[in-house]
Amino acid sequence: MIDDEQLSRLVANEADMTYKRRVKLFLRWLDPTPQEWVLDGGCGRGFILNYLRAVSDCVLVGVELEYRHLRVAREHLADRAIHLLNGDLYHPPFADNAFDKAILAEVLEHLPDDRAGLAEVVRVIRPGGRIAISVPNANYPFWWDPINKTLEMLLNTHVARGPLAGIWADHVRLYTLDDLLALVEGEGLHVEETKRLVHYCFPFSHNLVYGLGKSLLEAGWLSERMEQAVSRYHLNGRAGGRFNPMNVGLCLLNWVDRLNDRLAEREKSKRELSAMNLCLKVRVPH
Per-residue model confidence (pLDDT) at position 79: 81
Are 160 and 168 within 8 A, CB to CB? yes
Q: Which amino acid is present at 148? A: N
What is the per-residue pLDDT for 151?
A: 96
| pLDDT value at residue 213 | 86
Residue 265, pLDDT score: 63
CA-based end-to-end distance of the chain: 25
What is residue 229's predicted lDDT score, i.e. its pLDDT? 79
Q: What are phi and psi of 44, to 5 degrees?
A: 60, -130
Q: What is the DSSP string of the chain?
A: ---HHHHHHHTTT---HHHHHHHHHHHHHH---TT-EEEEET-TTSHHHHHHHHH--SEEEEEES-HHHHHHHHHHHTTTT-EEEE--TTS----TT-EEEEEEES-GGG-TTHHHHHHHHHHTEEEEEEEEEEEEBSS--GGGSHHHHHHHHHHS----SSTT-GGGTT-S--B-HHHHHHHHHHTTPEEEEEEEE--S--TTHHIIIIIIIIHHHHTT-S-HHHHHHT-TT--SS--S-TT-HHHHHHHHHHHHHGGGGGHHHHHHH-TT---SEEEEEEE---
- Determine the CATH number of domain 4-283: 3.40.50.150
Write out the chain's pLDDT in tens, 286 residues. 677 888 888 998 899 999 999 999 999 999 999 999 999 999 999 999 999 999 999 999 999 999 999 999 999 998 889 999 999 999 999 999 999 999 999 999 999 999 999 999 999 999 999 999 999 999 999 999 999 999 999 999 999 888 789 999 999 999 999 999 999 999 999 999 999 999 999 999 999 999 888 888 877 888 888 888 788 888 876 777 777 888 889 999 999 999 999 876 665 555 678 999 999 999 999 8
Angle, CA of 205, 151 and 259, to the nearest 5°: 30
Domain ranges of the chain: 4-283
For residue 220, the model assigns a pLDDT of: 80
What is the pLDDT, as a whole number, of residue 271? 60
Q: What is the pLDDT of residue 152?
A: 96
Cα–Cα distance measured from residue 22 to residue 48, given in angstroms and rounded to the nearest whole number: 10
C-alpha 44, offset from chain centre = 10
The reported pLDDT for the residue numbered 270 is 53
- In this prediction the pTM is 0.93
